[in-house]
Structure 1
Amino acid sequence: MQSNAINKLKKLNALWTVNGVNLFTKVINLTFFAFVYFLLPLENETYKDLRRNFYYYYPQIKKGRPRPLDPVRIIIQSVFLLFIKQIPSKTSTINVFFNSLLKVFKNTVIKPLSAITSVFTGKLTEVADQKETVVLKESRKTVILVFLGLSFVASILAVTQPLDVEYQLVFVALMWIVATLLKSEKTRVTLMLMIFISIIISTRYIYWRITKTILFTDPVTITFALLLLVAEVYAYAVLILSYFQVCWVLDRKPYPLPEDTALWPSVDIFIPSYNEPLDVVKPCLLAALDLDWPKDKLKVHMLDDGSRAEFEKYCKSIGVNYIIRKEHNHAKAGNINHALTLTNGDLVAIFDCDHVPTRAFLQMTVGWMVHDENIALVQTPHHFYSDDPFEKNLSIKGSVPAENSLFHDFIQKGNDTWNATMFCGSCAVIRRKPLEEIGGIAVETVTEDAHTSLRLNRKGYSSAFISLPLAAGLATESLADHINQRIRWARGMVQIFRIDNPLFGKGLTIPQRICFANAMIHFLHGLPRIIFLLAPLPFLFFNVYVIFATGMMIFAYVLPHMIHSTMTNQQIQGNKRFYFWGVIYETILSWYITVPTLIALISPKHGKFNVTAKGASNEETYFDWTVSKSYIFMIFLNFAGLIYGIYNIFFDPFSQVGVIVINLLWVCYNLLVLGAASAVALERRQVRTSPRVSCEMECTIDISKFQKINAIITDFSKDGLGIKLSEKIEGSSYQGLFKDGQLVVINIENNSVIYKFNAEVKFSNQNKLGLAVKLDTLQENIEYIRCTFACADRWAHSFEGLKQDTLFHGIHTLVKFGLNGYIKMLKNAPFVFKQLLWIVVSTLLFTFSMLPVPLDINGKKIFDKRK
């Protein structure tokens, strides 16, 4: 065995020599590996998997190119894999202990609590001894009141009880253990308990901050301390409101329509447009004409606020009613209101002109409006078939939920629970009578959609949300466009909060008030987020105590608050939002929405409606330094604080090392978040104005009357197809079979009907083809849209197939994208800036290389390195 080990070490030395590794590095690594070889029996079958998949388990190690500190990296990763991300094993000591503890916890806590839940619901629930517990209906109210009363008293005591730091650590440690055990059980009861624990921990933290940590000495200290406290109270309030909003989400399914189509309502389709290109609008118009609805009950209207002759000509050629107006007041809201006066359908379906509805859109949504005449609004998610700036610039599509998923695919379900579904301006159906009753689409704010749904609810009408992507559109093209769109949303929501505050006035239930208010004050996050990004600097630079407490007290209160709120939110949100992405999204917007939202609070009538550009392209990759100015400014402030804090630790004999270290950790976290935000500013090259949509559709290609080839459509656009040929022709290759400019016929089956389209070969490469589809008639255009964009079940939620994120993976991802942002800035920066930035990047890269890497042990494919 020793001779084999020596031979392996000789081979390693030879490989490293060829790759130019210096003598010092070779000595360090060979000594380490020799020690490991002689200490552990690596030749045994037990270590077979580790030997073959060494570079999978240790991704920090570069094959054939070791670094001096690689032994340290291997030790850190080994400890991480053994004790934190260990290989699942039913017989391992840790898992046996944990599973036993979990079993006891379920029998002694979860099942009795489920029995208590039966008191609230009136249902029978099995308890630990398998006996049924029957609670008399007349006793329920008393039991509930007693339970709530005791819970309230216990909560007050838990929040206000003063504890020394040791007892506080014991208390939060016990709460963390309970929450961790609860997290493993995916039930409604455990989720409610996790929310309850999180609220207790966070409320205790805020109570401690207000009563114990504000130092009233000089104006500067008071100012900085109160700014941070206000930001934290705001974040705490949003946390509590969001818990209520989504603690019990409603996953509503489509309601079937009557079999007799004579009972179906008539529908007007409104497609408003202002400055979008005709090529962007065409797919929406064609899909709307092809909606699966009785033709005598369906009318499609193009609402052109740009009054463009080419639009009018095209609409007349395809049979779409073209509507313009003389006065272009109130932007999109005024455009729709004008169309309401010229139409008379029972229902109005509204689509942004870049959204393409599937054929089944009306059949999947209108059923609820026929079933319940009090429902005035049915909203569906906004789904985008093009990459948003985050997916495009960070290359994360398919690995991270889309930025809009949390609201459109989850929070709206929570709103639906409380009858507070929000109209989002598109992909929705509204009943005409209630809409006219409230005076049409609201025009007082720039977020006319949310304001309209608020008014419908005030009138006592209901709303519904169906969580099925039944239409898809174009996402914002660049980070600058995304920021401009969110500025309008933020300003408009704050305008509503000032003009028509949901907390006051008649007509709303308490849950509706909470849901609408939370949606509005959420957009005030700009200033608090900036405060959090700069909060550690007053202490590091000027010794100003924004939190007047020892390092251990800060650790005992701040960390549990952050851990429990993060853990609970992750349990609620599941795979709709990964760790730390919410902070990154808020950081990107914070600087830009702060001033507009503050102005809207003071003077809500200021500001105008801006249209988000769609269908653009950029010819080359570039870094948007204009958008990034705010991030760069805060990066240098934080990095200066980091250097000065480290200097004080080593050279100031009176420095409070514990407090400085906590603030330095805060600064490092801020630097990673700001780096990740900056990474989105590198706009990738995008030549196509019509995005490609990935798919997998079977088809056949007619090369001639006697020759057909089976193929798979791998992607499509509004006028092109990507093809993968799926079979060989009598064993021969495809070489020379297709030529550029060659005409072929492609056959696509949709709902048992075969559609034929003429196409021209644009390129061919082995078994791949690029085709340009030739659509000459209106019917061909409609059928092509029917087979592609408007096909039933075409669109899927962005989080489908994603596993729920883990905390360690979230930290690793944050570090990776944070460093990625600095590298991007470094590559695209002017020379002087590169010199300064290189110091930041080098320091962070070295630190990152020492961290352990989380692995998907269950999902990895075992491979043999010897092959």
Structure 2
Amino acid sequence: MDPLAEAFLPVLLVLSLAAFLPWISSINPWARWAGAWLTILLMGRYLFWRATQTLPEPALDPLALAAWAFFMVEVVGSFAGVLLLHVLSRTLDRSAEATAHPVESHPGGPPLIDLLIPTYNEQEEILYRTIVGAMSQDYPRFRVWVLDDGKRPWLSEMCERLGANYRIRGDNSHGKAGNMNATFWHLMSLPEPPDAIGVLDADFVATPLFLRRAAALFHDPKVALVQTPQHFFNPDPIQLNLGDAARVPDEQRFFFDVVLASKDAHGTAFSCGTSSIVRADCLARIGGFPTESVTEDILLSIKLTGIGHKTAYLNEPLTAGLAPEGLQEYLTQRGRWCLGTMQIVRTPWGPFSRGVGTPLLMRLHTMDTVLFWTMTPILRILCLLMPVLHWWTGLVVVRTDLHGLISHLGPYWICCVIFLGWVSRGTNVPILADGMSLLVARESLRASAVGLFGNKNQKFKVTAKGATRDRTVVQWSLAGWFLAIAALTVAGMVLRLVLGPIEGTPPAAEAMNLFWSVYNIIMLAVASLMCVEAPRYRREERFLAGEAAKLRLAGREVEAVLEDVSLLGCRLRLPAGGLPAADARVEVSIAEVGEVPALVRAVGPDHCQLVFEADAAQRAALVRKLFSGRYRHSVTTLRPFAFMGILFRKAFM
């Protein structure tokens, strides 16, 4: 057999096994375990080959040092990969468990839950829908508390009007965690202290079943905290900038739909702040919400494992919030998450600490998060620079022939891509995932350095929400670097095409760097497209409805279809002859809301746009209707060919 053809046999074996995946569920425990460990074995095979056959002899020569340094980064990055694959080898769905243990069946009946909404500088319309949603819980025993670090009189008046409790404190120390602690200790001193504390970020609206479904998991006395996923009712910057939010998953879907459910199966799930409930007595035992990190949520779960309890994850869409509207806001949020994770490393509860009782598996899975924020950006940047250095200087970091490259890197890389795509049900697409990680690489490295080596007392940075933008904005501070690296890569390829390879360069190295460079150019192009921020015109997101409605105008009633609706207005489809005139005053009958006065803003061939003139009761009813959960539309899968089409249209149309 031709040696080169023989090299493809391991690749063909992986592809043959993958051919069965369409008929195997991604939650099948045996297939999931086998896929994860096959990928780990192929990774080990690749690293052994790299260590024994592709590296120069150790020497103080700059080229040898560069090759060994890159390999060591690969090894650490591969360790992060092993941890992730171990996490993904299992998964757990607790929905049936929650159904089987309704809160009424718990000893003592439903626990009393105090639902906290910490706020600082959010706009009135954002807080209004959050408070209305919190007050509309289908749960027998709960109280809502709005914690205002902005000390705004208008918010106090809104809380009184809506029936929520309002609290301020003397200072704003320790940000969100300090805000919640001030109220938590007050609540524990009341004649009727809470059994559990719920947390909702100021921009997250709970469906009526949030408390009922999440609290059901407290039937297990070992469960101290229940976390539910974060879903969003507006497109995040990646979805919006790629131009197809209806088909591109939001950036958090892989984590919440796949990773956190897998961590739960290992007993290492952690709190993500909002949309969670924690037992009050357990929270008191660890001294309240942690203030040692700006990501108090992760540290909260780590501390709870140290006293023998665990976090349970209920993967049901029970809340919906605002995703960051702009790329800078997105980067600020990711930078805060990274900073908080690095701060945890420096605490007694970090993965390298001793004597605080944190289980080994929790330490390892925390290390997975640490390596995600540190090694992923380092490896991503090095993988961009190595081909550039090869074309311009002749640097070779992998000395091999095509046979070795195809036989060892090929099956590992293909198996990894296929396995991640299978378990994520399409939410992890290589080019898209790599482009996203490249976007946050600079912010991750900066935050990692500050968190690991800087002042421990870093301030909590609030992510701005509720912004609009009336024009396209290019984030040149990011896109400029991406385009510059792409230009250097292309120029280096052209240079070698004209002048030929640098003397002594193996042909296999040329082939490897050609493939590597093409992949990098595509990834850099995708990342650059993400930096072109599309306008956001709407103050309120519209929800697709497709339900019956009635339009009343000048004494006559017309049957209509409510195509979409927001808190500010709606779009109606009407039969011929039933269209009102522009600027006419009408009433639209909407199920669960009633007769809403409205102004006709625009009229089309078969539809009209209305602006609501709703009263207080109707506005609250609209919030309850829109955020009941029935209009949620989170994209949970993305096919590679569909993604290619999205990129083509974004780039050329």
TM-score, normalised with respect to structure 2 = 0.91
Confirm or deny that 1:794 pairs with 2:624: no
Counterpart CA distance in 2 for 1:189 and 1:372 is 27
Confirm or deny that 1:383 pairs with 2:231: yes
Counterpart CA distance in 1 for 2:22 and 2:136 is 47
Residues 780 and 809 of structure 1, relative CA distance in 2, 3 Å threshold:
closer
Confirm or deny that 1:661 pairs with 2:511: yes
Counterpart CA distance in 1 for 2:346 and 2:481 is 28
Percent identity among equivalent residues? 25
AA at the equivalent of 2:256? H
AA at the equivalent of 1:620? R
Confirm or deny that 1:482 pairs with 2:330: yes
Partner in structure 2 of residue 739 of structure 1: 582
**Structure 1 residue 813: deviation in Å?**
5.4
Counterpart CA distance in 2 for 1:694 and 1:814 is 22
Residues 535 and 236 of structure 1, relative CA distance in 2, 3 Å threshold:
same
Secondary structure of 1:349's match? strand
AA at the equivalent of 1:360? L
2:124 to 266, 273, 278: 278
Which has the larger displacement, 192-201 or 281-290? 192-201
2:433 to 570, 582, 588: 582
Counterpart CA distance in 1 for 2:458 and 2:645 is 37
Partner in structure 2 of residue 342 of structure 1: 186
Secondary structure of 2:115's match? strand
Residues 258 and 546 of structure 1, relative CA distance in 2, 3 Å threshold:
closer
**Structure 1 residue 612: deviation in Å?**
0.6
Partner in structure 2 of residue 610 of structure 1: 461
C-alpha distance after superposition, 1:150-201 (max 9, x if no partner): xxxxxxxxxxxxxx97697266246425533453541543333333322222
1:562 to 398, 403, 413: 413
Counterpart CA distance in 1 for 2:321 and 2:186 is 27
CA contact (8 A) 1:228 1:532 kept: no
**Structure 1 residue 589: deviation in Å?**
1.1
Partner in structure 1 of residue 560 of structure 2: 711
**Structure 1 residue 633: deviation in Å?**
3.1
Partner in structure 1 of residue 53 of structure 2: 212
Partner in structure 1 of residue 372 of structure 2: 522
Partner in structure 2 of residue 299 of structure 1: 143
CA contact (8 A) 1:179 1:194 kept: no
TM-score, normalised with respect to structure 1 = 0.69
Secondary structure of 2:46's match? helix
C-alpha distance after superposition, 1:68-120 (max 9, x if no partner): xxxxxxxxxxxxxxxxxxxxxxxxxxxxxxxxxxxxxxxxxxxxxxxxxxxxx
Counterpart CA distance in 2 for 1:165 and 1:813 is 37
Confirm or deny that 1:439 pairs with 2:287: yes
2:485 to 606, 627, 634: 634
1:268 to 114, 118, 131: 114
Counterpart CA distance in 2 for 1:403 and 1:478 is 13
1:288 to 126, 134, 149: 134
Structure 2 gaps, min length 5: 188-192
AA at the equivalent of 2:639? D
Secondary structure of 1:492's match? helix
Partner in structure 1 of residue 543 of structure 2: 693
1:169 to 7, 14, 18: 7
Secondary structure of 1:302's match? strand
Residues 710 and 540 of structure 1, relative CA distance in 2, 3 Å threshold:
same
AA at the equivalent of 2:590? N
Larger radius of gyration: 1
**Structure 1 residue 658: deviation in Å?**
3.4
Residues 501 and 167 of structure 1, relative CA distance in 2, 3 Å threshold:
farther
Secondary structure of 2:536's match? coil
Counterpart CA distance in 2 for 1:172 and 1:211 is 19
AA at the equivalent of 1:520? V
Counterpart CA distance in 1 for 2:214 and 2:529 is 39
Partner in structure 2 of residue 531 of structure 1: 382
Partner in structure 1 of residue 190 of structure 2: none
Partner in structure 2 of residue 805 of structure 1: 639
C-alpha distance after superposition, 1:216-240 (max 9, x if no partner): 3444213321332133213311221
Partner in structure 2 of residue 226 of structure 1: 68
Secondary structure of 1:576's match? coil
Partner in structure 1 of residue 43 of structure 2: 202
Give the RMSD, CA atoms, in angstroms: 2.6
Partner in structure 1 of residue 257 of structure 2: 409
**Structure 1 residue 745: deviation in Å?**
3.7
Aligned residues: 636
C-alpha distance after superposition, 1:40-67 (max 9, x if no partner): xxxxxxxxxxxxxxxxxxxxxxxxxxxx
AA at the equivalent of 1:398? A
C-alpha distance after superposition, 1:714-760 (max 9, x if no partner): 222222222223xx3xxx5234x3431413142314xxxx6333323
Counterpart CA distance in 1 for 2:84 and 2:170 is 44
Secondary structure of 1:574's match? coil
Partner in structure 2 of residue 497 of structure 1: 345
Partner in structure 2 of residue 451 of structure 1: 299
**Structure 1 residue 510: deviation in Å?**
3.9
CA contact (8 A) 1:401 1:578 kept: no
Counterpart CA distance in 2 for 1:289 and 1:177 is 53
CA contact (8 A) 2:551 2:586 kept: no
Residues 704 and 454 of structure 1, relative CA distance in 2, 3 Å threshold:
farther
2:591 to 745, 748, 751: 748
Partner in structure 2 of residue 247 of structure 1: 89
1:192 to 26, 30, 33: 33
AA at the equivalent of 1:681? C
CA contact (8 A) 1:599 1:606 kept: no
Residues 307 and 202 of structure 1, relative CA distance in 2, 3 Å threshold:
same
Counterpart CA distance in 1 for 2:566 and 2:539 is 10
Structure 1 gaps, min length 5: 1-163, 825-867
Secondary structure of 1:475's match? coil
**Structure 1 residue 362: deviation in Å?**
1.2
2:623 to 772, 785, 791: 785
